[in-house]
Amino acid sequence: MQVDVLLGLQWGDEGKGKIVDVLASQYQIVARFQGGPNAGHTLVINGKKFVLHTIPSGIFREHLINLIGNGVVLDPTTLEKEIAQLTTAGVSVLDRLLLSRKAHLILPTHRYLDAASESAKGSSKIGSTLKGIGPTYMDKTGRNGIRTGDIHLSGFDQRYAALKKKHLHLISLYPEIEFNLEEEEERWMASLDALRQIPQVDGEYYLHDALLAGKRVLAEGAQGSLLDIDFGTYPFVTSSNTITAGVCTGLGIAPQRIGEVYGVTKAYCTRVGSGPFPTELHDESGEFLRKAGHEFGSTTGRPRRCGWVDLPLLKYSIMLNGVTQLVVTKIDVMNAMAEIQAAVAYRYDGKRHTNVPYDLNLISVDPELHSFAGWEQDLADCQTYDDLPAPCQSFLRYLEEFLHVPVTMVSTGPERESLIERKVTTLTA
Ligand code: GDP
Ligand code: IMO
Ligand code: MG
Chain segment 101-117, per-residue pLDDT in tens: 999 999 999 999 999 99
Distance CA(89)–CA(47), nearest Å, equals: 13
Distance of CA 84 to the CA centre of its chain: 22
Indicate where the chain has its CATH 1.10.300.10 domain(s): 104-195
Burial environment of residue 401 by CB neighbours within 10 A (0 to 12, 13 to 18, 19 or more): exposed
Longest dimension (CA), the chain: 65
Indicate where the chain has its CATH 3.90.170.10 domain(s): 265-421
Distance CA(337)–CA(285), nearest Å, equals: 9
- Neighbouring CB atoms inside 10 A of 161's CB total 10
Check 13, 21, 75, 114 and give the catalytic one: 13
Q: What homologous superfamily is domain 3-101+199-260 in, according to CATH?
A: Adenylosuccinate Synthetase, subunit A, domain 1 (3.40.440.10)
What are the tens digits of pLDDT across the range 405-420? 999 999 999 999 999 9
414 Cα–ligand 1 center, Å: 6
**Nearest C-alpha to atom 13 of ligand 1 is from which residue?**
42
Indicate where the chain has its CATH 3.40.440.10 domain(s): 3-101+199-260
CB of 32 shorter than 6 A to ligand 1 = no
**Per-residue three-class SS string for 336-382:** CCCEEEEEEEEEECCEEECCCCCCCCCCCCEEEEEEEECCCCCCCCC
**Which positions ≥6 away from 305 have C-beta within 8 Å?**
270, 271, 272, 277, 280, 286
Distance CA(227)–CA(176), nearest Å, equals: 29
Whether 169 is catalytic: no
- pLDDT of residue 429 exceeding 60, the answer is no
Q: Which atom of ligand 1 is nearest to the CA of 264?
A: 3
First-residue to last-residue Cα distance in the chain: 26
Q: Rounded to 5 degrees, what angle do the CA atoms 109, 114, 116 make?
A: 90
186 Cα–ligand 3 center, Å: 28
**Where does 265-421 sit in CATH, by number?**
3.90.170.10
For residue 305, the ligand closest to its alpha carbon is 2
Q: What homologous superfamily is domain 104-195 in, according to CATH?
A: Adenylosuccinate Synthetase, subunit A, domain 2 (1.10.300.10)
pLDDT at position 426 is 55
Query: How far, in Å, are 205, 317, 360 from residue 245 at the CA level?
Result: 19, 12, 23
Report pTM: 0.97
CB of 330 shorter than 6 A to ligand 1 = yes
In 3D space, the residue among 374, 224, 393 whose CA is nearest the CA of residue 292 turns out to be: 374
395 Cα–ligand 1 center, Å: 20
DSSP state of 280: B
What are the tens digits of pLDDT across the range 122-173? 988 999 999 999 999 999 999 999 999 999 999 999 999 999 999 999 999 9
pLDDT at position 288 is 97
Q: Which atom of ligand 2 is nearest to the CA of 130?
A: 12
